[in-house]
Amino acid sequence: MKVSLLQSSWESVECDALIVPIFEDEILDQPPVSRIEELLQGLVAEIKDSGEWKAKPGQLITIHRPRGIQARRLIVAGAGKQADFDAEAVRRLMMTAMHQLKDRGFRKIAAYRRSRIGLESAVQSAVEGLVLGSHQLDEYKTESKATGFVGEVLLVTDESLTEDSEAALRRGETLGRAVNIARTLVNEPGNRVNPSQLAEKARQMAEKYDVQVEILDERQMEEKGMHSVLAVARGSDEPARFIILSHMRAPQTDQPPLVFVGKGVTFDSGGLSLKSASGMEDMKADKAGACSVLAAMQAIAQLQVPVNVIGLIPAVENLPSGRAQRPGDVIRSMSGKTIEVLDTDAEGRLILADALHYARTLNPRMIVDLATLTGACVVALGHFRAGLFCNNEQLYGQFIQAAGRSGERFWRLPLDTDYRKELDSQIADIKNVGSKAGGAITAAKFLQEFVGETPWCHVDMAGTDSFAEGEELKGPTGFGVRTLAELAMSIADS
Q: Active-site residues: which are they?
A: 275, 349
Residue 286 found at the interface with ligand BES (CB under 6 A): yes
Instruction: Please count the CA atoms within 13 angstroms of the CA of 334 that sit on its side-chain side.
Output: 25
Q: Are 370 and 465 in contact (CB under 8 A)?
A: no
The mark string for 418-457 relative to ligand BES (x by CB under 6 A, - otherwise) is ---------------x-----x------------------
- CA end-to-end span of the chain: 33
**CB of 268 or CB of 486, closer to ligand BES:** 268
Residue 236 found at the interface with ligand BES (CB under 6 A): no
Residue 173 found at the interface with Zn ion (CB under 5 A): no
Which residue among 374, 391, 448, 477 contacts ligand BES (CB under 6 A)? Answer: 374
| Single-letter amino acid, residue 491 | I
Q: Do the bridges between strand 330-332 and strand 308-318 make them parallel or antiparallel, or are there none, so unpaired?
A: unpaired
Q: Which stretch binds Zn ion (CB under 5 A): 39-47, 183-191, 342-350, 445-453?
A: 342-350
Residue 317 found at the interface with Zn ion (CB under 5 A): no
Residue 462 found at the interface with ligand BES (CB under 6 A): yes
Minimum gap (Å) between residue 372 Cβ and ligand BES: 4
The mark string for 249-268 relative to Zn ion (x by CB under 5 A, - otherwise) is ----------------x--x
What is 478-494 written as a DSSP string? -TTHHHHHHHHHHHHH-
Residue 375 found at the interface with ligand BES (CB under 6 A): yes
- What Cα–Cα distance (Å) separates residue 154 from each residue in 19, 151, 319, 334, 379? 10, 10, 48, 52, 42
Q: How many residues bind ligand BES (CB under 6 A)?
A: 16
**CB of 23 or CB of 267, closer to ligand BES:** 267
Supply φ then ψ for residue 209, to 5 degrees.
-110, 15
Residues in contact with 95: Cβ distance below 8 Å, sequence separation at least 6, in sequence order = 128, 129, 130, 132, 133, 473
Among Zn ion, ligand BES, none, partner that 339 touches (CB below 5 to 8 angstroms by kind): none
Instruction: Please count the CA atoms within 13 angstroms of the CA of 53 that sit on its side-chain side.
Output: 20
Q: Which stretch binds Zn ion (CB under 5 A): 12-20, 280-288, 392-400, 469-477?
A: 280-288
**CB of 307 or CB of 371, closer to ligand BES:** 371
> Burial level of 428, CB count in 10 A (0-12/13-18/19+)?
middle
Residue 370 found at the interface with ligand BES (CB under 6 A): no
The gap from C-alpha 248 to its chain's centroid, in whole angstroms, comes to: 23
Supply φ then ψ for residue 205, to 5 degrees.
-60, -45
Minimum gap (Å) between residue 447 Cβ and ligand BES: 13
**CB of 59 or CB of 372, closer to ligand BES:** 372
Please state, in angstroms and rounded to a whole number, the distance separating the CA atoms of residues 451 and 435.
23
**CB of 128 or CB of 340, closer to ligand BES:** 340
Residue 345 found at the interface with Zn ion (CB under 5 A): yes
Supply φ then ψ for residue 155, to 5 degrees.
-100, 120
- What Cα–Cα distance (Å) separates residue 105 from each residue in 75, 101, 151, 394, 448? 14, 8, 10, 49, 52
| Single-letter amino acid, residue 227 | H
Minimum gap (Å) between residue 120 Cβ and Zn ion: 39
Among ligand BES, Zn ion, none, partner that 447 touches (CB below 5 to 8 angstroms by kind): none
Which helix (H) or strand (E) segment holds residue 260: the answer is: strand 258-262
Which residue among 128, 173, 345, 486 contacts ligand BES (CB under 6 A)? Answer: 345
Q: Are 286 and 267 in contact (CB under 8 A)?
A: yes
Minimum gap (Å) between residue 267 Cβ and Zn ion: 9
**CB of 283 or CB of 366, closer to ligand BES:** 283
Report which residue's Cβ sits closest to ligand BES: 375
Q: Which stretch binds ligand BES (CB under 6 A): 97-105, 229-237, 290-298, 341-349?
A: 341-349
| Single-letter amino acid, residue 425 | S
Please state, in angstroms and rounded to a whole number, the distance separating the CA atoms of residues 230 and 218.
7
**CB of 227 or CB of 263, closer to Zn ion:** 263
Q: How many residues bind Zn ion (CB under 5 A)?
A: 6
Q: Are 490 and 398 in contact (CB under 8 A)?
A: yes
Give the footprint of ligand BES on this chain (CB under 6 A). Answer: 268, 286, 343, 345-348, 372-376, 378, 433, 439, 462
